[in-house]
Amino acid sequence: MKSEFKLTHGIYKGKPVHNVPTEYLEFLINQMEHDKPEIMKELESRTLAAGGDLCWMEQIVQVGKATLLANPAISIDASTQSKVTAAAESLAQYAKAKAPVKHE
């Protein structure tokens, strides 16, 4: 049974994964493993830099989401990634509504 998953970016964006060359899929996996730690650091630094505008609850939600999505030990498909993102957005909205005070 062929996967219905389609790539979401890159030169094969929108193409079913079963139609993408093996070499390109291997390249993607290698890039993710190589780039994820640096991308994670950048996202964390952006979150911390924005800290003056966010309450602690919002910061925890943002860092937690980024950490979860970047964890190589957890296999997250596109559907699960969407659910994690939606949950993080809901928690961030809740945090804004319940704890609007900025912490320094």
Q: Quick one: CA torsion of 47, 51, 57, 62, rounded to 10 degrees?
A: -10
CB 5 within 8 A of CB 81: no
CA separation for the pair 84, 90 (Å, rounded):
10
| pLDDT reported for residue 103 | 46
Structure tokens at 20: 């993408």
Q: Between residues 32 and 1, which one has the greater pLDDT?
A: 32
Other C-beta atoms lying within 10 Å of the C-beta of residue 96: 13
Interval 7-46: pLDDT, tens: 888 899 999 989 999 898 888 888 877 777 787 777 777 7
Domain spans in the chain, listed from the N-terminal domain onward: 36-98
CB 67 within 8 A of CB 36: no
Mean pLDDT of the chain: 77
| pLDDT reported for residue 49 | 65
